[in-house]
Amino acid sequence: MKATKTIPALLSCHALKDLLRSSSQKISVLEADIGKQFENEFRHGHIPKARYFDQLECTKPSKLIPRGLPETKCFESYLSKMGVSNSDHIVLYDRSPIGFYATSRAWWLFK
């Protein structure tokens, strides 16, 4: 997952709206969260075409990494079931009160 010449790494809400309307590239918008605690809020409202991305799916906590890391095949399967493929341009956002925690972790998982 990296920025392209046509799509920057950081987007404003207006730029995303324009991108979703006009891009010929497949865009996957994911609302990132850690666990299912915000899934109900997602159901009540989210960015159009967004899908809920639970980062704890496929993870096993350890002493070293309490939230765990996903097993590769399970992670790929989870994304595939969501309709996300390797050729998609992925846009991440979250509702975190601090505004970046879930999104930055999701970005790291995709790296």
- Give the model confidence (pLDDT) of 59-97 as tens digits: 888 888 877 888 899 999 999 999 999 989 999 998 877
Tell me the two tokens of residue 97: 């009160």
7: pLDDT strictly greater than 60: yes
Mean pLDDT of the chain: 86
8: pLDDT strictly greater than 60: yes
51: pLDDT strictly greater than 90: yes
The domains of the chain are located at 26-110
Average pLDDT, integer, range 20-45: 87
User: Considering only the top CATH level, what class is 26-110?
Assistant: alpha beta
What is the reported pLDDT for 78? 95
Q: Which helix (H) or strand (E) holds 10?
A: none
Average pLDDT, integer, range 26-55: 89
Q: Could you tell me if 51 and 83 are in contact, meaning their C-beta atoms sit under 8 angstroms apart? A: yes
